[in-house]
């Protein structure tokens, strides 16, 4: 029997692995030194722990330890990467290419730079959430200095053709940044084979603690230069000043080490559960899968429920089941998902969508419960109101908003 409430929102955050917590705890009470304190053993102990974590993070993504800069999370890493490139390479050009389905951390940073005079190109996506490589190639200008493309979408799980994007960037002598927050720990990521110059990741998406992340910055072929965004003390070789969060960094390192060892095993287990969940829910009439069915994260299923008011749907299930109607950071806006709208979904259908994101602690009993609960709730909502009957009889005045 499933124990309530059930957590199916692992793309928003994951629970901290007990092994990660166990590794972190001594650095709160016993080894509490400042990693920047170079003149005593407390500082040396903290610095040594950070060095180990830096190596663990680097190993997971195919980088070297010196290419890892620790941040407060992926959002800061995104800002450092995109703003840092824009300021450092302003002499070379002022054009950045990104996509319409990026996380808000990327889109908001790009819009900020646009207001500052940068030229931005936002590549559209098809109904599966994929960009066209032909469109990417056509968008490149002599002034293009950066391509920013998400590795795996946080809402739909759609995986971009990262290797091909990296190759295009390299052929055109353009830097390539990817927000790999949802990919690292779930997919085999290698910054060298994929020609990635900058990569952002976050600990709490891979069973580590909140409040810590990292930015990979390529050191050769090419050597990437950035303008620091946080000043004061010159920590992290001047890339990111501020006292290091040693317990968090240790936790991130341990989470990466665990992911490196269990990546493929957990991915297969989670996908089997996800596929069962998906089959059960898609058996409900007028439900639609959002995203690329083939090129998708193994733990994500984003499903739209046609002719079901989104607020009624969420209110009816969230007491028992933790899910999301979009990105966690934008869940309070009440607006339809920009990702689903960019994919061509009608606004009402985009709003009446749920992202189910499973994790390594998900059980078969939980999946069975969620299928039944969702089926019962959707059936009841449709029976209680006129929306369902009006919709299937083509009587809705705003029918285009429910476009598939």
Nearest Cα residue to 224 out of 208, 237, 205: 237
User: How many angstroms separate the CA atoms of 182 and 13, rounded?
Assistant: 10
379 contacts: CB under 8 Å, gap ≥ 6:
284
Residue 315, H or E segment? helix 310-317
Q: Which residues contact 66 (CB under 8 A, 6 or more apart)?
A: 219
Strand 119-123 and strand 6-7: the pairing is unpaired
Q: Return the closest-CA partner of residue 191 out of 218, 229, 219.
A: 218
Q: How far is CA 358 from the centre of its chain?
A: 14
Q: The tokens of 228 are what?
A: 């620091």
Residue 18 to residues 207, 208, 254, Cα–Cα distance (Å): 9, 9, 11
Q: How far is CA 398 from CA 307, 353, 384, in A?
A: 11, 18, 20
- 38 DSSP assignment: -
Output the CA torsion sign for 15, 20, 26, 31.
Answer: negative
Burial classification of residue 116, based on how many CB atoms lie within 10 Å of its CB (0-12 exposed, 13-18 middle, 19 or more buried): exposed
Identify the active-site residue in 16, 110, 256, 329: 329
Using DSSP's 3-state secondary structure scheme, residue 36 falls into coil
- Using CA atoms, how far apart are residues 249 and 226, in angstroms rounded to an integer? 22
Rounded to an integer, what distance in angstroms lies between the CA atom of residue 238 and that of residue 241? Answer: 6
329 is catalytic: yes
Catalytically active residues are 329
């Amino acid at each position: 029997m499933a124990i309530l409430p059930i957590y199916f929102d692992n793309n928003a955050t994951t629970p901290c692995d007990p092994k990660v917590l166990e590794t972190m705890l001594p650095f709160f009470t016993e080894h509490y030194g400042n990693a920047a304190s170079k003149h005593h053993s407390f500082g040396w102990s903290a610095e040594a722990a950070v060095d180990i974590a830096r190596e663990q993070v680097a190993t997971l993504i195919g980088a070297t330890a010196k290419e890892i800069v620790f941040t407060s999370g992926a959002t800061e890493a995104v800002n450092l990467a995109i703003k840092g490139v824009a300021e450092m390479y302003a002499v070379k050009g002022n054009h950045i290419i990104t996509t319409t389905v990026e996380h808000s951390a990327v889109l908001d940073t790009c819009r900020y730079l646009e207001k500052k005079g940068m030229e931005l190109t936002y590549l559209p996506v098809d109904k599966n959430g994929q960009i066209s490589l032909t469109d990417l190639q056509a968008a490149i200008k002599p002034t293009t200095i950066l391509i920013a493309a998400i590795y795996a979408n946080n809402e739909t799980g759609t995986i971009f053709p990262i290797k091909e994007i990296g190759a295009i960037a390299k052929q055109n002598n353009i830097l390539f940044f990817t927000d790999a927050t949802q990919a690292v720990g779930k997919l085999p990521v290698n910054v060298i084979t994929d020609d990635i110059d900058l990569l952002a990741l976050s600990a709490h998406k891979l069973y580590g603690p909140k409040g810590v992340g990292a930015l990979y910055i390529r050191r050769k072929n090419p050597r990437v230069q950035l303008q620091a965004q946080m000043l004061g003390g010159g920590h992290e070789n001047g890339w990111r000043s501020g006292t290091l969060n040693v317990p968090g960094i240790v936790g991130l390192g341990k989470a990466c080490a665990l992911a490196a060892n269990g990546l493929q095993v957990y991915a297969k287990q989670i996908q089997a559960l996800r596929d069962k969940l998906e089959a059960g829910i898609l058996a409900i009439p007028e439900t639609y899968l959002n995203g690329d069915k083939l090129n998708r994260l193994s733990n994500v299923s984003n499903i739209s429920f046609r002719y079901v008011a989104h607020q009624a749907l969420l209110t009816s299930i969230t007491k028992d089941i933790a899910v999301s109607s979009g990105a966690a950071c934008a869940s309070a806006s009440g607006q339809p998902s920009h990702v689903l709208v960019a994919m061509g979904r009608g606004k009402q259908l985009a709003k009446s969508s749920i992202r189910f994101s499973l994790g390594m602690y998900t059980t078969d009993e939980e999946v069975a419960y969620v299928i039944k609960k969702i089926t019962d709730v959707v059936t009841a909502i449709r029976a209680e109101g006129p929306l369902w009957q009006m919709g299937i009889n083509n009587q809705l005045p705003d029918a285009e908003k429910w476009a598939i």
